[in-house]
Amino acid sequence: MTHGSQATTVRTTRTETRDRGRPVSLPARESVASPPPTDDLSDIGDIALAGQPSGYTHLRPRGVPTVGQLATAAREAATVLGRPALWPPWRRRWQLAPRPARRRAGGRMRVTVVALEPNDFVALPRLGGHGRPAPGTDVLHLAHGHAHTVVSTPDGEMRAVQELGAGRVRVLGEASRHRLINTGADTAVVVRVTGP
């Protein structure tokens, strides 16, 4: 018998009835549930704590930001980066956004920014720890200027060109490679928020 299942005892008795004047004996069934085994849960480990916090650090739930939270963080960072004094000093490189732009992005979000001169472009590599690519969601938001995203296949074939409109958020997928191109006559500043 497995732990947690209840044993059932069945008793059979004979009942007398009359059918056309002859007595007929019918078995009657009566179910009686026996008490469950003792409440000794020490042998089942953490299953007894289902729904309760665990003492093991690797089992603690981690809050993963939603796409809406990433988009909100990107919008707020782009609003802060609307001032040219906060634009990144280097061009064509993804850099950690200044502290005022990262302030509203909590949890496990990473906020980076790039500045592109006219006709410049930059790749959108996956941001992982120790130089490795990482799975996750990327959200782009244009803080200043005009830019387009170009999606290409691994062999370099161009699949799509889409405008990164002012006030709009672009969520990037993982299947293709993306590039960001400044298509305006002024410096383009783009915010990128990455989730795990």
Report the pLDDT averaged over residues 28-46.
56
Please name each of the domains of the chain with its CATH number: 8-59 (no CATH), 67-194 (2.60.120.10)
Our CA angle for 68, 142, 145, nearest 5°, is 165
Which alpha helices (H) appear in the chain, and where do they start and end?
Answer: 67-80, 99-102
Quote the pLDDT of residue 189. Answer: 96
CA distance 102 to 98: 7
Q: Write out the H or E segment, with its range, that includes residue 149.
A: strand 147-152
User: Which backbone phi and psi does 14 adopt, to 5 degrees?
Assistant: -100, 135
Of 24 and 3, the one with more pLDDT: 24
Pairing verdict, β 147-152 and 138-144: unpaired
pLDDT tens per residue, range 93-120: 999 999 999 987 877 889 999 999 999 9
Q: pTM higher than 0.85 for the full model?
A: no
Range of weakest confidence among 36-40, 57-61, 166-170, 183-187: 36-40
% of residues, the chain, pLDDT over 90 = 37
Strand partners, 180: 122, 149
